[in-house]
Structure 1
Amino acid sequence: MGNKAIDITLMGRTYSIACPEGQEEALRHVAHNLETQLVSLKARTNNLSREEIAIMAALNTGYELLEEKQKNQDYNKQMDHKIGLLQSTLENALVERSTKTD
Structure 2
Amino acid sequence: MSNPRSEPVTVQILGKEYRVACPEDEHSALIASASLLDRRMKEIRDGGKVVGGDRIAVMAALNIAHELLLLKRQNAVLDQRMRDLQERVDLALQQERQTDS
TM-score by length of 1: 0.90
Indicate the residue corresponding to 1:68 in structure 2: 71
Q: Could you tell me which amino acid in structure 2 is paired with residue 22 of structure 1?
A: D
Indicate the residue corresponding to 1:88 in structure 2: 91
Structure 2: runs of 5+ lacking an equivalent: none
Q: For residues 1-102 of structure 1, what are the structure 2 equivalents within 5 Å? A: 1-45=4-48, 47-98=50-101
Q: Could you tell me which amino acid in structure 1 is paired with residue 68 of structure 2?
A: L
Judged with a 3 Å threshold, the aligned counterparts in structure 2 of structure 1 residues 82 and 7 are, in CA distance, closer, same or farther, namely same
**Higher gyration radius (CA):** 1
Specify the SS of the correspondent of 1:22: helix
Q: Could you tell me which amino acid in structure 2 is paired with residue 9 of structure 1?
A: Q
Q: Could you tell me which amino acid in structure 1 is paired with residue 11 of structure 2?
A: I
Residue 11 of structure 1: CA displacement? 1.1
In 1, distance between residues paired with 2:53 and 2:19?
A: 18
Q: Could you tell me which amino acid in structure 1 is paired with residue 78 of structure 2?
A: Y
Structure 1: runs of 5+ lacking an equivalent: none
Specify the SS of the correspondent of 1:48: coil
Residue 45 of structure 1: CA displacement? 2.6
